[in-house]
């Protein structure tokens, strides 16, 4: 169970950064969903590195193949195997990384835990694993399109280092128009200058990514320990470099009073409840309210930097380390499609889990 | 699986606020652990409401009984059933709450999802469920005492509303000496005045709780989807009213550069790695480093307040609601022992999961 | 996960033979199912020992209490706790059994595995644990009555020792009219004499139990590793003393040719497929066909007999052992309601699992 | 969870008979196990069809590739992906099979359940899926070699149709010397004539396979619902065409008295318990005793036969069907290595599960 997530729609990822291939084995796929590799490729292309100067220059085709579970363009209900072959396994010398532990990196813990690790490109701990998540997320999106038409999932960056977006300038249409997937056009311009500077210095910086699910039905979430927010938190925290997860107000909820935090309820014209605000991030008691579901996570700066850092070798000797070569000055950028993919998987999983226990749609009516 | 957590040490809680009893069914308990009800009672007493004016005045004995899995004072390896009978089921009139949805409360979502809910005291969504977690956490602590001597778990409040503690004044010994379990004595004094005022107004406020695990071995955590931080995040987010979870730097990691965030490594006199700082919160790549494990979560203010809020009834009519009677002005206080309990369960679970796959202790040596 | 079964409708049993209580924690219960303790009591009364001279004379009220998950006579979708208190904990001397291992009994393996065991009445390995299964099975039956009206589950004995029933004399109405739940009235008479004789000798004998599910929809079963027959086999094999499980032709399928084994298909007047025979036992490729589902299991003779058997003590000394006191000459009798209960749980679980992945009812139509 | 088995050592198989590839995603692999593709190939070659006239003439290279989880010839503890490409996807006309349901085959149930199926070679329901099991079983064997030296797993046929082996002629060395993997040389000769005759008629016949695990430690098995026999029963029942599973005496246990069935215990010279017989099949109360573990299963005759059978079409019209082309007259033969593989996976899984809860080796000592 260590490399799987989801209750019904269950995704198991496998593969290392520089092995022959990596992928996702997806079980619990509803039958009859239209699926072709090109539909998944669309999302992988968004995540693909090397598309601009702000992401690692590793060039991977990231071409996904569907090896099972689809017949004549439709899912059959059997497991779907999504495989991405690694093509850019540059014949680099990994001997230094194999001997020294990078500060802030999983090098040391994989070694301590297992007593063996694949040092090439970070092995299993590489962000490359997230390509498999994006492929699985693409599949989840297609199933959601069939089962919950109108549901939409969108991620974007709200912070890069000390620079946060201005919520007043939030523009959904802006998101696809800048390399940072940020809804604030001014921030995008400022960040470009800021990040280019960091990149030239060989430094790196953290980010905050927000993912919003619009049009999700009320009633998703299986309290107490498969709450929708619980599963979203786990999904996001499992992404490389994530150190914090928030739902709605998140950490700032601590600063509010009960009066401030209460999202007042009235009845909408469409016979559904309307909320005066969304401090809750669309989830109450672990169950979706029908409002926008809002999840946010922080991504730490990558530990691969040009400034020398103190460390030790496997034999315990003191050493210094500098990570040369390709790296992402802000890995948060590439985390945007990954966060979307995780949200898609969790929402679909909960749709299926809900219909297992309760049936189609919410069971309680109001009015 | 909806009401269970843990991979090997697997806890299933059950019960409603005003039903006959609630409890935890605990599977995967190692055999031969010394266990008596009084050991668990100790932790339940910490969480028990009504101990001072800052927690709900509901008076519950919260007496835990061990119904199975223990023979002659030792666990046998069979499931341990921990039951707490509800004694203070005040014959209150729940008709108003049964008809109207409290803003910011699970009332509406339980109704929407299931089409039926137990309105008495919040039913299953009541914070009372956390008593079962604390009992299970007590059991986890006893098992940890046997399997990982020296390991210590401690929670405390670092923020109440807009007031944060001063880290310069951090004093471990202070934690048990104030009703807020805060390590900052000055904050404790200030918060007492602040909260008393809120309480009198019938208002409520949020909080931040931090839990630290000291003395955990390196190597715990099963990447990729049962990472130690992933499971801690899920465990904390599953607690009532929690809206954000952080590991180490948490959300603030987004603001750091790679240079700032890197915890440099040297070799300690005891042959173990020493880190210059702990931005990582003791976890790298989802696996414990041997440093203190630091997890933090925000608790929103309770939605049970005296100020009238706008809402609707089950029949869709507009209404106002005021929650009279017993309530917690800062539920974050009682979340401290709950956070500790969840951490204990997760750490024990990962100790067992680690020895399943790898054996006892980390497998890789340094030096 | 060691004491749980089921994917969605998930039952965890707990408790020892002579502890304060035992029970079942049931998760994944659909909301809105009418449920009262008396409905479960009906099935427990069928299983209850001491009802005639052919079952153990231990007298237990076996009164089941519903501690959670039900509000105003309906399930709420939250976990249902079913508790049965142990009342007849006769203050017997267990010192001999505590020291010597009964041949053919779990005494020795529980000791070897855990290094500690509760010897009173067999502790966790006692058939008493099956009371919790029957209670959970009763709950499953009520949910099935709501979700799959017309579905019926019935168990009966087809063999006692060397005596098998005559299938020509099969009479459904006979089953409830004899202490062996056998559909063959003549066999019932013969067995009464045979078993009374064995009982007087202090001996015991094995049995075969068959459970038939009529009216189950086609399409249940999640290949490959949650096939309906796989889960039924696991459910039955987990019952105390079971040593073999068969679906349809079972072991005898080995003796057939392809021509003999093929259940030919035609179209029924009701627009559903009709099969010329049911060698398959209602399951093909792990999925139900809509025919009767037929599962059969053998129950070994109890090891508690009056004839002295050679054994060893915990200290490794040779010894003889005789089990005095109350025992079942044919535990297979009491396994009938247990087999039914397990079938009810598995069928309900697969109904829920099917609607998770596929939706309500089979998705493919014929004709 | 539908296509996965195992608690810790968790195998998910994927792939269809005539898709591009099939395989097994294996999680929970202990680190540091020596592993190369050739080690797995050895076991796949045993199962490979077309090796003699008694198995299907489909010619598959069945070459397994390790795509992840191994570095420099050792497992790293990360998921191992085992892929087998399908090379002999003969461009056959599947239109008849796509329209008509073969009696005794999963055609009809896959259709009913999913409303879509891949008819080419049986799709997911093909016995070809078992190649993935054999590959995973090979991996399990290597881990067992490291963790439980001396443990040996061997399968063989004990019955073909109405012809059973003579236990007096049982010879372990004979097993590898005949195409039926039977330990009875005389039976092997007789069966060759018998099966050749059936093959020429285009008929098929069932079989019984027995798998014995020698040298397994006492203490394996997690009662109550992950008993060793429960998991073995599920594992075997999940194999295509299996209709019955037995442990030790199996169904015949029903015919024994308590005196006959009791395996008496004495103390061996090596300080371990010795049993006078093995009616229990090495498992008591769901936990291994240290004796040989004996599991047996029946395999029904394949439904692909030349004799016309009555059936219906997808549109509900009556029809006749004859399965031409390649088929196995006795699929039980190829089930032998599959049964061994399943046993290897279950035993390894329980070794890991045992050390999770209890630690290394049995905890209770005798003497």
pLDDT tens figures, C241-288: 999 999 999 999 999 999 999 999 999 998 899 999 999 999 999 999
pLDDT at A195 over 80: yes
Nearest chain C alpha carbon to D220: C113
Residue B313 dihedral angles phi and psi, to the nearest 5°: -95, 175
Rounded Cα gap, residues D265 and C318, in angstroms: 8
Binding-site residue positions of D for NADP(+): 47, 53
In 3D space, the residue among C214, C108, C106 whose CA is nearest the CA of residue C156 turns out to be: C214
pLDDT at D290 over 80: yes
What is the sign, positive or negative, of the torsion defined by CA atoms of B52, B54, B57, B62? negative
Tell me the pLDDT tens digit for each residue of A263-276: 999 999 988 999 99
In 3D space, the residue among B235, B114, B336, B137 whose CA is nearest the CA of residue A225 turns out to be: B235
pLDDT at B53: 74
pLDDT at A249: 98
Give the one of C25, C76, C81 whose C-beta lies nearest to B114's C-beta: C76
Residues of chain A contacting residue C31, judged by C-beta atoms under 8 Å apart: 357-358, 363
Tell me the helix, strand and coil percentages in chain A, rounded to 5. 35, 25, 45
Residue identified by tokens 């394949």 is: D302
pLDDT band at D224 (very low <50, low <70, confident <90, very high): very high
Mean pLDDT of A105-122: 94
Residues of chain C contacting residue A77, judged by C-beta atoms under 8 Å apart: 357-358
Give the one of C4, C69, C114 whose C-beta lies nearest to B27's C-beta: C4
Mean pLDDT of C154-182: 97
pLDDT at C48 over 90: no
Poorest-confidence range of A192-206, D18-32, D42-56? D42-56
Where does A166-277 have alpha helices with state H? 185-201, 228-237, 258-261
Nearest chain B alpha carbon to D143: B357
Q: Are D206 and C259 in contact (CB under 8 A)?
A: no
pLDDT at B323 over 80: no
Instruction: Tell me the pTM.
Output: 0.98
Mean pLDDT of B261-280: 95
pLDDT over 70, % of chain B: 96
pLDDT at D52: 73
Residues 6 or more apart whose Cβ sits within 8 Å of residue A169: A183, A184, A185, A186, A187
C-interface mutation test, from B79, B106, B118, B226, most C Cβ less than 10 A away: B79
Mean pLDDT of A307-313: 95
pLDDT at C57: 61
Q: Are A287 and A347 in contact (CB under 8 A)?
A: no
CA distance C141 to chain A (A): 15
Residues of chain A contacting residue D20, judged by C-beta atoms under 8 Å apart: 65, 67-68
Q: Name the helix (H) or strand (E) containing A243.
A: strand A242-247
Contact between B28 and D352 using a beta-carbon 8 Å cutoff? no
Tell me the pLDDT tens digit for each residue of B131-143: 999 999 999 999 9
Poorest-confidence range of A54-63, B206-215, B267-276? A54-63
CA distance C96 to chain A (A): 43
Q: Are A173 and A74 in contact (CB under 8 A)?
A: no
Mean pLDDT of D307-332: 89
Report the DSSP beta bridge partners of residue C242: C299
Mean pLDDT of C192-213: 96
Question: What secondary structure letter does DSSP report for A303?
Answer: S
pLDDT at A155 over 90: yes
Tell me the pLDDT tens digit for each residue of D128-140: 999 999 999 999 9
Interface of C with B (CB under 8 A): 1-4, 10, 12-16, 19-23, 25, 27-28, 31-32, 65, 67-69, 71, 74-81, 83, 113-118, 123-124
Contact between B358 and A289 using a beta-carbon 8 Å cutoff? no
pLDDT band at B91 (very low <50, low <70, confident <90, very high): low
Tell me the pLDDT tens digit for each residue of C107-139: 999 999 999 999 998 999 999 999 999 999 999
Torsion angle of C-alpha atoms B67, B73, B74, B80, degrees rounded to 10: 10
pLDDT at B363 over 90: yes
Residues 6 or more apart whose Cβ sits within 8 Å of residue D204: C257, C258, D198, D301, D302, D303, D304, D305, D327, D328, D329, D330, D331
Half-sphere exposure of D292 (CA within 13 A, CB side): 17
pLDDT at C30: 98
pLDDT at D87 over 90: no
Q: Are A290 and B243 in contact (CB under 8 A)?
A: no
pLDDT at D49 over 90: no
Residues of chain B contacting residue D363, judged by C-beta atoms under 8 Å apart: 31-32
Nearest chain A alpha carbon to B364: A115
In 3D space, the residue among B54, B23, B45, B203 whose CA is nearest the CA of residue B124 turns out to be: B23
pLDDT over 70, % of chain A: 96
pLDDT at A57 over 70: no
pLDDT at A50 over 80: no
Q: Are C302 and D224 in contact (CB under 8 A)?
A: no
pLDDT at B56: 67
Mean pLDDT of D273-284: 98
pLDDT at C325 over 70: no
Nearest chain C alpha carbon to D305: C258
Q: Are B47 and B109 in contact (CB under 8 A)?
A: no
Report the DSSP beta bridge partners of residue A338: none
Rounded Cα gap, residues B181 and D360, in angstroms: 40
pLDDT at B310 over 90: yes
pLDDT at C232 over 90: yes
Average pLDDT, chain A: 94
Contact between A8 and C357 using a beta-carbon 8 Å cutoff? yes
B124 among annotated binding-site residues: yes
pLDDT at A60: 72
Q: Are B297 and A247 in contact (CB under 8 A)?
A: no
Residues of chain A contacting residue B303, judged by C-beta atoms under 8 Å apart: 258, 261-262
In 3D space, the residue among A84, A76, A98 whose CA is nearest the CA of residue A27 turns out to be: A76
CA distance B72 to chain A (A): 32
pLDDT at B344: 98
CB pairs under 8 A between A and D: 145
Burial class of residue C181 (count of CB atoms within 10 Å of its CB; 0-12, 13-18, 19+): buried
All chains having 3 or more CB pairs closer than 8 angstroms to chain D: A, B, C
pLDDT at A319 over 70: yes
pLDDT band at C93 (very low <50, low <70, confident <90, very high): confident
Average pLDDT, chain B: 94
A-interface mutation test, from D8, D22, D29, D79, most A Cβ less than 10 A away: D79
Residues 6 or more apart whose Cβ sits within 8 Å of residue A40: A64, A66, A82, A135, A138, A139
Report the DSSP beta bridge partners of residue A66: A82
Rounded Cα gap, residues D91 and B207, in angstroms: 67
pLDDT over 90, % of chain D: 86
Give the one of A14, A68, A78 whose C-beta lies nearest to D79's C-beta: A14
Angle between helical axes of A228-237 and B228-237 (0-180°, round to 10): 160
In 3D space, the residue among C87, D352, C124, A205 whose CA is nearest the CA of residue B262 turns out to be: A205
Rounded Cα gap, residues B33 and B149, in angstroms: 13
Q: Are D293 and D282 in contact (CB under 8 A)?
A: yes
Q: What is the CA angle D142-D144-D145, rounded to 5?
A: 65
Contact between A68 and D13 using a beta-carbon 8 Å cutoff? no
Mean pLDDT of D57-66: 82
Residues of chain D contacting residue B32, judged by C-beta atoms under 8 Å apart: 363
Q: For residue A137, give both structure tokens.
A: 């997320």
Residue predicted with more confidence, A14 or D361? A14
DSSP-assigned letters across all residues of A85-101: E---------HHHHHBP
User: Based on C-alpha coordinates, what's the Rg of chain B?
Assistant: 21
Residue D235 dihedral angles phi and psi, to the nearest 5°: -60, -45
Give the one of B113, B161, B283 whose C-beta lies nearest to A363's C-beta: B113
List, in sequence order, every beta strand (DSSP E) within chain B. Answer: 4-5, 10-15, 21-27, 64-66, 70-71, 74-75, 80-85, 152-160, 163-164, 207-214, 242-247, 265-267, 273-275, 283-284, 287-288, 293-299, 309-312, 318-321
Rounded Cα gap, residues B18 and C157, in angstroms: 44
Average pLDDT, chain C: 94
Give the one of B29, B78, B358 whose C-beta lies nearest to D77's C-beta: B358
Q: For residue D107, give both structure tokens.
A: 């055609």
Residues 6 or more apart whose Cβ sits within 8 Å of residue B262: A103, A104, A303, A305, A309, B279
pLDDT at C327: 75
DSSP SS3 for B312: strand
pLDDT at D58: 63
CA distance A18 to chain D (A): 9
pLDDT band at A47 (very low <50, low <70, confident <90, very high): confident
**Which of A93-107, D259-273, D341-355 tops mean pLDDT?**
D341-355
Report the DSSP beta bridge partners of residue D319: D311
B47 among annotated binding-site residues: yes
């Amino acid at each position: 169970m260590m490399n799987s997530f989801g209750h019904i729609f269950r995704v198991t990822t496998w593969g290392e950064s520089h092995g022959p291939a990596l992928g996702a084995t997806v079980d619990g796929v509803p039958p009859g969903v239209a699926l072709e590799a090109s539909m998944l490729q669309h999302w992988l292309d968004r995540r693909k590195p090397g598309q601009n100067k702000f992401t690692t220059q590793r060039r991977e085709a990231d071409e996904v193949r569907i090896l099972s579970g689809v017949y004549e363009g439709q899912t059959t209900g059997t497991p779907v195997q999504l495989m991405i072959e690694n093509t850019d396994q540059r014949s680099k010398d990994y001997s230094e990384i194999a001997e020294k532990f990078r500060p802030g990196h999983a090098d040391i813990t994989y070694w301590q835990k297992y007593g063996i690790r694949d040092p090439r490109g970070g092995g299993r701990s590489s962000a490359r694993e997230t390509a498999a998540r994006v492929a699985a997320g693409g599949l989840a999106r297609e199933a959601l399109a069939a089962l919950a038409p109108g549901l939409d999932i969108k991620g974007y960056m709200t912070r890069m280092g000390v620079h946060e977006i201005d919520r007043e300038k939030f523009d959904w249409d802006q998101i696809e128009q800048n390399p940072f997937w940020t809804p604030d056009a001014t921030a995008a311009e400022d960040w470009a200058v800021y990040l280019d500077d960091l990149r030239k210095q060989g430094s790196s910086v953290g980010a905050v990514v927000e993912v919003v699910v619009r049009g999700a039905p009320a009633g998703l979430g299986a309290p107490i320990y498969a709450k929708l927010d619980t599963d979203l938190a786990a999904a996001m925290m499992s992404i490389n470099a994530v150190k914090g997860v928030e739902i709605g107000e998140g950490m700032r909820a601590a600063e509010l009073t009960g009066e401030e935090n209460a999202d007042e309820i009235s009845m909408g014209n469409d016979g559904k409840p309307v909320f005066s605000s969304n401090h809750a991030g669309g989830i109450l008691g672990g169950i979706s309210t029908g409002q926008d579901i809002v999840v946010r996570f922080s991504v730490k700066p990558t530990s691969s930097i040009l400034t020398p850092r103190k460390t030790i070798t496997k034999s315990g000797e003191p050493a210094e380390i500098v990570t040369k070569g390709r790296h992402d000055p802000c890995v948060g950028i590439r985390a945007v499609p990954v966060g979307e993919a995780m949200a898609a998987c969790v929402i679909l999983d909960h749709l299926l889990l809900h219909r297992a226990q309760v049936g189609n749609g919410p069971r309680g009516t109001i009015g």
